[in-house]
A and B are shown apart, each in its own frame.
Chain A
Amino acid sequence: MEEHDDFIIDVSRRNFVKGAGALAAGLGLAGFSSVGAYAAPMAPKKGGTLKVGIVGGTDDIIDAQYLFKLADVLRLNIGWEGLMNFDNKFQPSTEHGLAESVEVKSLSKYVIKMKKGIEFHNGKTMNMNDVIFSWQRLVDPKLPGTKGLGQYLSPAGLKKIDANTFEMNLLQPNADWLTSISQYANTIVPVGYTRNGPQVGTGPFKLKSFTPGVESTHVRHANYWDSGKPYLDGVRVINFSSTDALVNALLAGQIHAAVGVPAALVPVVKKNKKMKVIETSAGKIAPIVLPIDEAPFNDKRVRQALRMIIDRKKIIKQALSGRGTVANDDFSPLDANYNANGYVAKQDVPRALALLKAAGYSKSNPLKFTLWTGSDNFPEVAKSFAEQVNSLSGGVAKVEVGIPSDYWDTKYMAKNVGAYTTYWNPKPYLVQAGQMLDVYDETHLAPKGSNNPYRKWYEQALAERNPAKRRALVKKMQAYHNVNGGYIVPFFLNVIDAHSTKVQGLEQRPASLNLDTFGMHFKRVWLA
């Protein structure tokens, strides 16, 4: 599953981005804070190979700009870097990126100056041709890059200005463009890069070997641009077939860190004094998707009843062992515009039942549907949701949970699949809305070319430079989505990883990616 992680930035208030310090905080972190204390700083020790465990299979890939699963995200982050990424306050920053500075000429014109003397893993120095090629690969629909960006930027919009500078001319204004650039999958590769070719990037570690489903080894990039880093000699990514095998290996000391520890297993890890758990919340969601144009979900009352009948706290307790926070069907809690209209999705069983009755359902003619899920898509959430709907509706609704062996094949791909569970890593509101509308049209809310107000406001908001006006538009979108949308978002789930106390440099702070954003390409990590 393709995922991007990015946070909104108020571009209108700053037209020039250079380093992390240059940024003013334009975004209030909405109610999320880290739980743990920062470790006392020690002088980093050099050397050693970090062994990182993660669930993965033979369908793992390595592509500098593309991914399906978490293991692919991890490997991408070890070897490749983009123009910008997010700092500790979720602001787009050039500090760890390959760009020196980004100048916002207008919402559709960006001038980007690159850092000098960046060297690829194969010893070649990065030049403008590499940068242009990388972005062509990202936006060219014929090339296997990240989808979604192509609708804002075409290959023709990339223009070299001088040896160090280039220009992006967007097809339409986009107030979220800097956060889009900062997505981790938008990396720089050498000219001619292909997934099957030599795996060359600029990151702190270069790929040495890769056996899908088993492991990959990455060794220190000697001429890495960020001087003194990385501390480690190498990183080994080891795949496990299940989370229990992963946690077992961590507890047995066979790996240093485990990426993606299931909530239910946190107590197992915490029992061990030599282990540390990193648990953060940044707004990852596992929504229940109801396609709004398919029966029975084309009846607004059915969608409303399903939202209203559930006890969200109970779902969190059951499906996440309590490791999450209640959400009110809105997403992007770190966005400054989160829940702008103050909507609360309160449980109201009598009203839900009244809605179902009004929609024509009764015990003798119950609302029946299958909620599809898969091992990658939080089956616990589907089971918990179904159990609540079934027991609280007293037989008026009958939800079955379906776990097809071919979830991603027939069930997900086909239209008219009915309801299913999915997941999204945290994103700013408009970026998430764009993904929902144009990249993976899950709920069929407002297809391209439709006159749906949600789409209209979305396009207006993207082009809106004035933050107050944009906020008003987002507010309208949220209100519309709360009533008409097809997502039930019961909670934000915590992202949980664990590592041995030998591993230093990882902190517990809100992060868009696992393991403290993978220790920023693992360059902050060292072994004590």
Chain B
Amino acid sequence: MSIFKFVLRRLAFGLGALIAISAAIFFVTQGLPADPAKTILGRDATPENLEALRAILGLDRPLLSQYFGWLTDVVRGDFGTSFTTQMSVSTYLGPRFGNSLFIMLIGTIVSIPISLLLGGYMALKRDSLFDSSSSFATLVFAALPEFVMGTGLIVIFATTVFQWFPAVVFLDEGAAPWSDPMGVVLPITTLVLGCIPYVSRTMRASMVEVLESDYIEMARLKGVSERNVLLRHAFPNALGPVFQVSALNIAYLVGGAVIVERLFNYPGVGSALTDAIRVRDLPVIQFLSLLIGSVYVLTNLIADVATVLVTPRLRTTLK
């Protein structure tokens, strides 16, 4: 099988998954008994203006036709208008998307190298005190829910013990998140602490496997310097599984952002989602759910392809 064909097949599956997800999201949100027209009108709801608004929103049409209408619009790039803000969903979420992307990007940039180095070093110093204590520490952080970790950080570094960082993020209108560098420290730290355990533990396991493999043994026997053994042979071959886990973690960041942004009052897509859920802003909920689903599917796709590309063994099978 050629790599091209492989990518194409994964792409087809990703697309299928997205369509299934979109249908599930749509029917869970739009098909359920809660009436968005009532939500929008609130206390102003009278039978007449409810009817009128339902017609405007297209809620009087059959569910299936609503779904295909929505899907067609989404494909055309029209994500609808937010019920509550009356802004187009893309205008409303644009800046927030950037804000979320920022903390996730920094979270990734910080956590991946730390994790790779930590995991690699743990593997090299296997069964040492460093290895066992780090493995214990990563396990502890892996088990903690984000809101527990975040609240812990707030108690320690923002309110009760030290007052080093602000407990909430506060961005000026249109200002970039890096304009408040102190404010983003704790949210990013929470995300990083959530990511490091998984990637570093995978890296350790993968590295251990590679270090014990025959070809590293061979390389050593051939007299390749230890430095070259590690950098040229062991490290690259250990990266495959790490790509998988990193992809999962980028996707995890998207989900984790919901909690972290709520906790720190951060104006990103995660807090937009919780807010939209609170006020039943269906177009925003639907778009964000789809967006998050797409990020999941896409990162997994990239990870699969990257794994194939970096792992010499798999690369040859595909050829």
Q: A interface vs B, CB < 8 Å?
A: 1-2, 57-59, 68, 144, 147, 196, 209, 211-215, 217, 236, 238, 240-242, 245, 248-249, 252, 254-255, 405-406, 408-410, 412-413, 440
Cβ–Cβ contact B280 & A409, under 8 A: yes
Cβ–Cβ contact B85 & A196, under 8 A: no
B227 in contact (CB, < 8 A) = no
Cβ–Cβ contact A238 & B34, under 8 A: no
| A58-B275, A409-B38, A412-B43 as given contacts; A252 in contact with B166, CB under 8 Å | yes
Report the separation of the CA atoms of residues A440 and B46 in the bound assembly, to the nearest whole angstrom.
12
Residue on A nearest B281 in the bound complex, by CB: A58
Query: Could you show 23 A-B contacts with beta carbons less than 8 Å apart?
Result: A58-B272, A58-B275, A59-B84, A59-B85, A196-B86, A212-B85, A215-B173, A217-B173, A240-B168, A241-B271, A241-B275, A245-B265, A248-B166, A248-B167, A248-B168, A249-B170, A254-B168, A254-B170, A406-B34, A409-B38, A410-B33, A410-B38, A413-B45
User: Interface residues of A: mostly helix, strand, loop or mixed?
Assistant: loop
B10 in contact (CB, < 8 A) = no
| A57-B275, A213-B275, A440-B43 as given contacts; A241 in contact with B173, CB under 8 Å | no
B279 in contact (CB, < 8 A) = yes
| A58-B272, A242-B265, A249-B170 as given contacts; A213 in contact with B85, CB under 8 Å | yes
Closest Cβ–Cβ distance, residue B176 to chain A (whole Å): 14
Q: B interface vs A, CB < 8 Å?
A: 33-35, 38-39, 42-45, 82, 84-87, 92, 166-168, 170, 173, 262, 265, 267, 271-272, 274-281, 284
CB contacts (< 8 Å) of A245 on chain B: these are 167-168, 265
Cβ–Cβ contact A2 & B43, under 8 A: yes
Cβ–Cβ contact B276 & A58, under 8 A: yes
Cβ–Cβ contact B42 & A241, under 8 A: no
Closest Cβ–Cβ distance, residue A1 to chain B (whole Å): 7
Closest Cβ–Cβ distance, residue A414 to chain B (whole Å): 9
Cβ–Cβ contact B168 & A249, under 8 A: yes
CB contacts (< 8 Å) of B278 on chain A: these are 57, 405
Residue on B nearest A212 in the bound complex, by CB: B85
Cβ–Cβ contact B43 & A1, under 8 A: yes
CB contacts (< 8 Å) of A408 on chain B: these are 39, 42-43
Number of A-B contacts (CB under 8 A): 87
Partner of B35, one of A236, A241, A409: A409
Report the separation of the CA atoms of residues A36 and B86 in the bound assembly, to the nearest whole angstrom.
43
Residue on A nearest B173 in the bound complex, by CB: A215
CB contacts (< 8 Å) of B274 on chain A: these are 241
CB contacts (< 8 Å) of B87 on chain A: these are 212
CB contacts (< 8 Å) of A196 on chain B: these are 86
CB contacts (< 8 Å) of B284 on chain A: these are 58
Residue on B nearest A211 in the bound complex, by CB: B173
Closest Cβ–Cβ distance, residue B259 to chain A (whole Å): 13
Report the separation of the CA atoms of residues A377 and B281 in the bound assembly, to the nearest whole angstrom.
21
Closest Cβ–Cβ distance, residue B129 to chain A (whole Å): 40
Closest 8 CB pairs of A and B: A59-B84, A245-B265, A212-B85, A59-B279, A254-B170, A245-B168, A248-B167, A248-B168
Most chain B beta carbons < 10 A, residue from A58, A240, A241: A58
Report the separation of the CA atoms of residues A128 and B274 in the bound assembly, to the nearest whole angstrom.
46
| A68-B42, A213-B275, A440-B43 as given contacts; A410 in contact with B166, CB under 8 Å | no
Cβ–Cβ contact A214 & B281, under 8 A: no
Cβ–Cβ contact A241 & B276, under 8 A: no
Cβ–Cβ contact B84 & A58, under 8 A: yes
Report the separation of the CA atoms of residues A1 and B166 in the bound assembly, to the nearest whole angstrom.
32
| A254-B166, A408-B39, A409-B39 as given contacts; A241 in contact with B86, CB under 8 Å | no
Residue on B nearest A268 in the bound complex, by CB: B159
CB contacts (< 8 Å) of A211 on chain B: these are 173
Report the separation of the CA atoms of residues A440 and B35 in the bound assembly, to the nearest whole angstrom.
21
CB contacts (< 8 Å) of B170 on chain A: these are 238, 249, 252, 254-255
Report the separation of the CA atoms of residues A410 and B33 in the bound assembly, to the nearest whole angstrom.
10
Closest Cβ–Cβ distance, residue A99 to chain B (whole Å): 28
Partner of A240, one of B42, B82, B265: B265
Residue on B nearest A217 in the bound complex, by CB: B173
Report the separation of the CA atoms of residues A266 and B191 in the bound assembly, to the nearest whole angstrom.
32
Residue on A nearest B82 in the bound complex, by CB: A58
Residue on A nearest B166 in the bound complex, by CB: A252
Cβ–Cβ contact A409 & B84, under 8 A: no
CB contacts (< 8 Å) of A440 on chain B: these are 43
CB contacts (< 8 Å) of B167 on chain A: these are 245, 248, 252
Report the separation of the CA atoms of residues A255 and B265 in the bound assembly, to the nearest whole angstrom.
15
Closest Cβ–Cβ distance, residue A425 to chain B (whole Å): 15
Residue on A nearest B50 in the bound complex, by CB: A413
Report the separation of the CA atoms of residues A354 and B284 in the bound assembly, to the nearest whole angstrom.
53
Cβ–Cβ contact A58 & B85, under 8 A: yes
Closest Cβ–Cβ distance, residue A416 to chain B (whole Å): 16
Closest Cβ–Cβ distance, residue B278 to chain A (whole Å): 7
Report the separation of the CA atoms of residues A409 and B278 in the bound assembly, to the nearest whole angstrom.
11
Report the separation of the CA atoms of residues A143 and B44 in the bound assembly, to the nearest whole angstrom.
12
Residue on B nearest A252 in the bound complex, by CB: B166
CB contacts (< 8 Å) of B38 on chain A: these are 409-410, 413
Report the separation of the CA atoms of residues A155 and B236 in the bound assembly, to the nearest whole angstrom.
79
Closest Cβ–Cβ distance, residue A190 to chain B (whole Å): 21
Report the separation of the CA atoms of residues A59 and B85 in the bound assembly, to the nearest whole angstrom.
6
Report the separation of the CA atoms of residues A57 and B262 in the bound assembly, to the nearest whole angstrom.
13
Residue on B nearest A440 in the bound complex, by CB: B43
CB contacts (< 8 Å) of B276 on chain A: these are 58
Q: A144-B44, A196-B86, A410-B38 are in contact. List 4 more A-B contacts (CB 8 A).
A: A59-B281, A241-B275, A254-B168, A410-B35
Cβ–Cβ contact B279 & A58, under 8 A: yes
CB contacts (< 8 Å) of B166 on chain A: these are 248, 252, 254
Closest Cβ–Cβ distance, residue B41 to chain A (whole Å): 9
Report the separation of the CA atoms of residues A180 and B240 in the bound assembly, to the nearest whole angstrom.
72
Closest Cβ–Cβ distance, residue B85 to chain A (whole Å): 4
